[in-house]
Structure 1
Amino acid sequence: MPLALLALAIAAFGIGTTEFVMMGLLPNVADDLGTSVPTAGHLVSAYAIGVVVGAPLLTALGTRVPRKRMLLALMGLFTLGNLASALAPGYETLLAGRFLAGLPHGAFFGLGAVVATRLVAPERRARAVASMFLGLTVATIVGVPLGTLLGQHLGWRSTFLVVTAIGLIAMAALARLIPQLSEESRPRLRQEVRELRRPQVLLAMATTIVGMASIFAVYTYLSSMMTKVTGFSDSAMTLVLALFGVGMTLGALIGGPLADRALRPTLYGALTGLTAMLGLFHFTAEHKATALASVVLIGMAGFLACTPLQVLVMEKASAAPTLAASSTQSAFNIANAFGAWAAGAAVSAGWGWTAPATVAAVLAGGGLVIAVAAGLLDRARPDRSESRVVATGERAVLEDVHTS
């Protein structure tokens, strides 16, 4: 794999750390700023809203900007948002800093996915995308636990200062390792938006929202399930969350090569496995050994589905890959909010602390149904006009292939 993918992975590591570390720092932030933990929880929502808003907006604004320059600008905005968070004098300014840090998230991953596929041969594109997202999964194993530990001992501001430093390192790596890619034949914004409305693209987005909501439904309440049902202590939660990250990393490593060989079957298999594991988690959560094994397998199955979903959207909107890929990140964050809300509603209804696993299994099954329906539609009604990208070296020529 090209060394340039390392630069994208470093950036993904920083983004993943700042996205998830706030969940572990909420009590510290609440105490320091004199607010409640539920109110501090809005800082997580502020970042997610920034992702949803920023993904299409910044992608649209950067349509005519050279890709390498745009990657650096997005990483610069991310770094500025984390610095603003570290220096925020109060709750409102920290809220603004979190929103600012979230703005470039989707656009960066969308553009980064396109750049990653340009750096490798067509048959290795899923592996290239998975390599970038590997930085995100490693963040859940290393960045988030260490960031939480640092914030608990040296104050939450120190965590965001470290993430700021990671952002600067990522910018240096991007500037040094990412080559100047050809900017010929890039689609106009109107064409990108038109491609985004194609049925297969919308179905892939729906699969992402419904299917991936299952992961966030169970992840949001994982600590509560492990302490109240399984019997782990609060201090053991760092290990449990790290094991979930190990599963995600395994999913990323396995998912890339499998998706390159068989895109849709990999997606079907991942969602089937995810549905089964979440359904069983209602029972396996009762015992520590089976609970820990389930945590790893759920994380693995969940992230095994992420790479084929990202590549599928880019494939079905191949004349608008950047906007499509960045919009997928918005879909993931909508899934985050939807999954957490659905699981929370089940707990509030008195269904017990294993209810998030049951809700998650239903959501994963729903994602599988949508994915299979999209596959059947693809066979029954192939698009009349398909677009494909043919890459030669660093030059990409966009061809429209019309079928009668």
Structure 2
Amino acid sequence: MPIQQKDPSRASTYSWPGVLAIALGALSLVVTEFLPVGLLPGICRDLGVAEGTAGLAVTATAILGFIAAPVTAIAIGRADRKRVLLGLTALLIISSVLSWKAESFATLLIARVILGIGVGGFWAISITAAAKLVPPEKVHAASSIVFAGISIGSVIAVPAGSYIGAHADWRDGFMGASVLAVVCFALQLVFLPSLKMKHGVNVRDFFGLLKDPKVRAIFLTVIFIVAGQYAGYTFVTPYLEQITHLSTAIVSVLLFAYGVATVVGNFVGGAFAGRNLHNTVVATVWIFVLSLASIAAFATSPMFAGLSLLVWAVSWGMAPVGTQLWLYNATLHAPEAAQAMNTSVFQLSIGLGSLAGGIAVNHAGLHSSMWLGALILALAVMMVYIVGRMNRQPAVAA
């Protein structure tokens, strides 16, 4: 009977509680990253900044996340992932406390920059770390749990922020985020075993990915999809209040429904992608661009704006499924580098989208944010057809 070699990069004992601790950390990071979207009106009033300027609270985090993802993946080498994750969660605590106590917009931006480092680093290594905590045949389940933490965080972040902003001081939202971050740190400290890696990621892995034209096209598609999303979504709370003239309470309910519809979109996208991946992605981006154009065109109609928002949410939930499957199929030779780069591209796109939306809002008003998002998504439609053509080329050659 052959003796199986033990993978030194795996934990000495498997730990599902450790996987849950990582998932909770991912949830906490997502909640804290997008909390300002729901708190935007309160931040503007209290710190005396315009909506477009306040959107920098999202942009700053995303830009640092873009930088931190590949830098962290390379810098940590084969370091114990438990220590790395604890360090990144500590940055989350520091950022949340600083945001809670911020008396100026400059202080808030500093806090958000610190958060960006934590977000980029954590997202870059969390999936691979969780995979080491379970038997090889359960890696898919562990990854799903971490992704569930990200999805749930995206569901509750904006409506929770909107609710807090309507019934309490906006700083209370970051106080709650601080408590959640401390709980995450404690759970990771207790339940995460030592996770020393067999191999690290190097710069050549990233350059190797970027040499592939299909991978470049997929990343460009992701940039347009995510940037289009956040050009509009960053300002959705003041948009619904000031343009559609909905009450804060109704906006909170709508944003919660948006989050639930996003999760539904994840499952819908997965089901259809299993049947025909290309057609699913094509349909997704078309629905996406039309829903944003619709909410812009019928902004003053609460019924049409509300319906458009929910369709938008479903399409946003579906979008990452197709692009992730495209990327996975194209990067089987370097999955860790691809995950770090995807995190980086995603965060860059959030920053670019929210920044572009902020500039548009400051110069042309809130209404322009949705039209801009639709315009950027039209570029995503073009890229989806280009990637689809690349996917068919090997089959034709064969």
Q: TM-score, normalised by structure 1?
A: 0.78
Distance 1:24 1:284 in 2: 22
Distance 1:190 1:225 in 2: 44
1:364 aligns with 2:377: yes
Kept in 2: contact 1:25–1:151 (CA 8 A): yes
Which residue in 2 is equivalent to 1:377?
390
C-alpha deviation, 1:171, in angstroms? 3.0
Distance 2:374 2:265 in 1: 18
**Secondary structure of the corresponding residue to residue 242 of structure 1:** helix
Kept in 2: contact 1:243–1:292 (CA 8 A): no
Which residue in 2 is equivalent to 1:294?
308
1:103 aligns with 2:148: no
C-alpha deviation, 1:186, in angstroms? 4.6
Q: TM-score, normalised by structure 2?
A: 0.79
Which residue in 2 is equivalent to 1:200?
214
C-alpha deviation, 1:301, in angstroms? 0.8
Distance 1:58 1:166 in 2: 23
Q: 1:303 aligns with which of 307, 317, 320?
A: 317
Structure 2 gaps of 5+ residues are 1-15
1:163 aligns with 2:177: yes
Which residue in 1 is equivalent to 2:327?
313
Deviation per residue, 1:89-148 (Å, 9 max, x gap): 6544432222111112122122223345665878984x7655434333433443444345
Kept in 1: contact 2:285–2:319 (CA 8 A): yes
Which shows bigger deviation, 241-250 or 141-150? Answer: 141-150
Which residue in 1 is equivalent to 2:204?
190
Deviation per residue, 1:66-106 (Å, 9 max, x gap): 34443333222222322333345654443222211111212
Paired residue type of 2:257: L
Paired residue type of 1:368: V
C-alpha deviation, 1:250, in angstroms? 1.6
Q: 1:325 aligns with which of 325, 339, 345?
A: 339
Return closer, same or farther for 1:380/1:250 CA change in 2, 3 Å cut-off: same
Which residue in 2 is equivalent to 1:394?
none
Match runs of 1:43-54 below 5 Å:
43-54=57-68
Deviation per residue, 1:159-203 (Å, 9 max, x gap): 323212212322344455556667335554433443344322221
1:60 aligns with 2:84: no
1:277 aligns with 2:286: no
C-alpha deviation, 1:28, in angstroms? 4.1
Return closer, same or farther for 1:279/1:159 CA change in 2, 3 Å cut-off: closer
Kept in 2: contact 1:213–1:363 (CA 8 A): yes
Identity %: 25
Structure 1 gaps of 5+ residues are 383-402
Which residue in 1 is equivalent to 2:33?
19
Kept in 1: contact 2:78–2:199 (CA 8 A): no
Distance 2:331 2:82 in 1: 22
Kept in 2: contact 1:273–1:301 (CA 8 A): yes
Distance 1:273 1:197 in 2: 31
C-alpha deviation, 1:249, in angstroms? 1.9
**Secondary structure of the corresponding residue to residue 197 of structure 2:** coil
Distance 1:26 1:160 in 2: 13
**Secondary structure of the corresponding residue to residue 216 of structure 1:** helix
Kept in 1: contact 2:282–2:381 (CA 8 A): yes
C-alpha deviation, 1:206, in angstroms? 0.4
- Across the two proteins, how many residue pairs are aligned to each other? 380
Deviation per residue, 1:276-315 (Å, 9 max, x gap): 3334434454532332222122112112111332343344
Distance 1:128 1:262 in 2: 26
Distance 2:227 2:92 in 1: 25
Paired residue type of 2:314: M
